[in-house]
Chain A
Amino acid sequence: MTVLLRLTRAETRLFLREPISVVFALLFPPVLYAVLGSVPSFQEAEEGLGGLRVIDLYTPIVVALAFTVPALTNLPQQFATYRERGVLRRMRTTPVRPAVMLGAQMLMYTCMSVATMLVILALGRVAFDVDLPQLPLAYIAAHLLTSLAVLAIGLLVGAVAPSGTSAGAIGFVLLLPMLFFAGLWTPRETMPDVLRTISDATPLGAGVQSLQDAAAGDWPHLLHLAVLLGWTVAAGALAARYFRWE
């Protein structure tokens, strides 16, 4: 087993020992989805939504929420705490580059996000008659691109925050507008044009639309893919620029 996988396993074990993290990252999204799906009016097709049901719109939103919450709260807090307490510094004295630790965290959150996505899609299919994505490959690609963009933003927060606690707080403050533009409170379909245009330029706005398109059988728009790549590159480069091991 490579060091990357060993570290990923060790980090995953540590993650699972934090009950609050487990509840928010792994249990909250499916529960939220089940609650939304149980609202009777959300299961009825609406003219204004092009014949879609509210629960159809919320499927990609909850999928995106599931990986965004840990990527913006746990990841930066964890990393800043590791830096604050010298965990990364100790690792620097071993043959393993601390960058492998970054890789292990990214891998762990990516695996968890795929797992929650599968749970939500299965739940939607079984309980609420939501169709599985018509273009599974496009769906996976949109999912990975979006989670990568969000993880890059999480790393940037971890890089610039002075402490673990402040990293968690900054991540949480970023989380709310990002979820707003993902459509958590007002789905993109019902947003005024101005808001939807702004949403197109945000990682979750572009991400949720791409997931929605792939689910409906269309390849995601180039604009949205470019937005996702842009956020990944910009946040990733800034995170690398400002990263301190100690």
Chain B
Amino acid sequence: MTQIEVQGLVKRYGDRTAVGGVDLSVRRGEIFGILGPNGAGKTTTVECIEGLRTPDSGTVRVCGLDPQTDSAELRHVLGAQLQESELPDKITVGEAMELYSSFYRDPADWRGLIADLGLTDRTRTQFRHLSGGQKQRLSIALAVIGNPRVAVLDELTTGLDPQSRRDTWDLIESVRDRGVTVLLVTHFMEEAERLCDRIAVIDSGRVVALDTTAGLVSTVGDRQRIGFRPSAPFDPGVLSALPEVFGVDRAEDRVTVTGTGDLLSAVVTELSRHGVSASDLRIDQPSLDDAFVALTGRSIDD
């Protein structure tokens, strides 16, 4: 069952094409990630889904609704958390929740919601006195106060410290566990890898890959990387000659070997044949980072 369907979405600002033909479909109950570097067209894509922008061409459907023509109905089924969207300084958490819940036909119980989000002891606190993490939690609460079927969360954890970020991830999972389909926009690999069932990688306004997280990672193959410090100098050529090894790098006293298959035992066996042992051994499995580099030819932070 598809909750969000986007086909051939194009959006231009003047002569700059922000989104150049995006297709994606989000299934009910999943956390779907839109991953890409800043300026890739992620936010423009979700703003078209939210009905805040009018696409130049292509179709968008959210629960069967056209955001342009069924805007009034869309507001009841889609909850949105926007980037850089604040509340009045002096409104309290409780007042904001009560006010926003009155906007909807069938709102969630706002007291229960802020209890789940750990904001109950902040009910009487004014917005300006909340921490960054608390503001983000309130923002999630406002996005789901109307009991939406779809929640769009845009760059939710940007600017948060690592602990708040992890707490927020738990909250996003709890939103999904309420039966809400989550569309998550992020440029954090770790976040996408941890949370998303499926991911669309967007680069320069296009979807360059759309798969499960595991599926994306497997596009880089089962490439592995082993790093260690050799106990004695040796000729790297002996490792390069192994069939499992793609390459050998030396940096100061560390050696990094990339390769495939049973790389570790091949390397260790070969080293011991030459009387060398490996200390500080580290093995890296391929990650979404590697997949992103393989797909776009650059790192997401560039």
Partner-B contacts on A (CB < 8 A): 1, 3, 6-7, 10, 13-14, 17-18, 82, 85-87, 89-90, 92-96
Using a CB-CB cutoff of 8 Å, which residues 70-91 of chain B contact chain A? 72, 75-76, 78-80, 82, 84-88, 90-91
List residues of chain A with CB within 8 A of the CB of B100: 94
Given A90-B82, A93-B50, do A82 and B88 touch, yes or no (CB 8 Å)?
Answer: yes
List 11 other contacts, CB 8 Å, given A14-B88, A86-B82.
Answer: A3-B102, A10-B95, A85-B85, A86-B85, A86-B86, A87-B86, A89-B82, A92-B52, A93-B80, A95-B72, A95-B103
Q: Which of chain B's residues have a CB closer than 8 A to the CB of A13?
A: 95
> Is there contact, CB below 8 Å, between B99 and A10?
yes
Cα separation A85 to B139 with both chains bound (whole Å): 14
Contact residue among B76, B86, B87, B99 (Cβ-Cβ distance under 8 Å from A7) = B99
Which partner residue on chain B sits nearest A6 by CB separation? B102
Q: State how many angstroms separate the Cβ of A108 from the closest Cβ of chain B.
A: 13
Q: With A and B bound together, what is the CA distance between A86 and B95 in angstroms?
A: 18
B residues near A6, Cβ cutoff 8 Å: 99, 102
Residue of A3, A17, A82, A89 touching B103 (CB-CB under 8 A) = A3
B146 at the interface (CB under 8 A from A): yes
Q: Is there an interface contact between A18 and B80, defined as CB atoms closer than 8 Å?
A: no
CB distance from A234 to the nearest CB of B (A): 29
Closest-CB distance, A193 to chain B (whole angstroms): 47
Residue of A nearest to B145 (CB): A94
Partner among A7, A10, A94 whose Cβ is within 8 Å of the Cβ of B146: A94
Query: Looking at chain B's contact residues, is the secondary structure mostly helix, strand, loop, or mixed?
Result: loop
- Chain B: CB-nearest residue to A86: B85
Question: Does the CB pair A93–B52 fall under 8 Å?
Answer: yes
Q: Is the interface of A mostly helix, strand, loop or mixed?
A: helix
Asked if B142 CB lies within 8 Å of chain A CBs, one says: yes
Does A90 contact B104, Cβ atoms closer than 8 Å? no
Q: Known contacts A3-B102, A3-B103, A95-B75: does B87 contact A90 (CB below 8 Å)?
A: yes
A203 to chain B, nearest CB (A): 29
Among residues of B, the one whose C-beta sits closest to the C-beta of A9 is B99
Residue of B nearest to A17 (CB): B90
Q: A95–B79 Cα gap in the complex (Å)?
A: 10
Q: In the bound complex, how far is the Cα of B250 from the Cα of A104, in angstroms?
A: 68
Q: How far is the CA of A90 from the CA of B146 in the complex (A)?
A: 14
CB distance from B19 to the nearest CB of A (A): 18
The answer to whether B90 touches A93 (Cβ under 8 A) is no
User: Knowing A6-B102, A10-B95 touch, does A94 contact B90 (C-beta < 8 A)?
Assistant: no
| C-alpha spacing A93/B88, complex, angstroms | 16
- Which residues of the other chain, A, contact B103 by a CB distance below 8 angstroms? 3, 94-96
Contacts of B86 in A (CB 8 A): 85-87, 90
B87 and A95 contacting across the interface, CB-CB below 8 Å: no
Question: Which A residues lie within 8 Å of B105 (CB)?
Answer: 95
> How far is the CB of B182 from the nearest CB of chain A, in Å?
15
Complex Cα distance, B91 from A7, in Å, reads 12
B85 touches A90 (CB 8 A): yes
Q: How far is the CA of A85 from the CA of B50 in the complex (A)?
A: 19
Shortest Cβ distance from A16 into B: residue: B90
Q: Give 5 closest A-B pairs by Cβ, nearest first.
A: A86-B85, A93-B80, A95-B75, A90-B85, A85-B86
Within the complex, what minimum Cβ distance (angstroms) separates B74 from chain A? 9
- Residues of chain B lying within 8 A (CB to CB) of residue A94: 75, 100, 103-104, 146
B85 touches A89 (CB 8 A): yes
B79: A residues at CB distance < 8 A: 93
Question: A96 contacts which chain B residues (CB < 8 A)?
Answer: 103
For B75, B85, B100, B146, which residue has the most chain A Cβ atoms within 10 angstroms?
A: B85
Nearest CB on B from A93, distance (A): 4
A93-B52, A95-B104, A95-B146 given as contacts; is B82 within 8 A of A14 (CB)?
no
CB distance B99 to A93 under 8 Å?
no
Q: Can you list 20 pairs linking A and B with CB atoms under 8 Å apart?
A: A3-B102, A3-B103, A6-B99, A6-B102, A7-B99, A10-B91, A10-B99, A18-B90, A85-B85, A86-B84, A89-B85, A93-B50, A93-B80, A93-B82, A94-B100, A94-B103, A95-B72, A95-B76, A95-B103, A96-B103
CB proximity of B145 to chain A, nearest CB, Å: 9
Q: Which residues in chain B, 27-71, are within 8 Å of chain A measured between CB atoms?
A: 50, 52
A7 to B88, CA, bound (A): 12
For B78, what are the chain A residues with a Cβ–Cβ distance below 8 Å? 93
Q: Please, how many angstroms separate the alpha-carbon atoms of A1 and B104 in the complex? A: 13
CB of A89, distance to nearest CB on chain B (Å): 5
CB contacts (< 8 Å) of B72 on chain A: these are 95
In the complex the two chains form, what is the Cα distance from A82 to B88 in whole Å?
7
Partner of A87, one of B76, B80, B85, B95: B85
Q: Which residue of the partner chain, among A1, A14, A85, A90, contacts B90 with CB atoms under 8 Å?
A: A14
Q: Which residue in chain B gives the minimum CB-CB distance to A15?
A: B90
Closest to B102 in A: A6
CB nearest to B78 among chain A residues: A93
The minimal Cβ–Cβ distance linking A102 to chain B, given in whole angstroms, is: 15
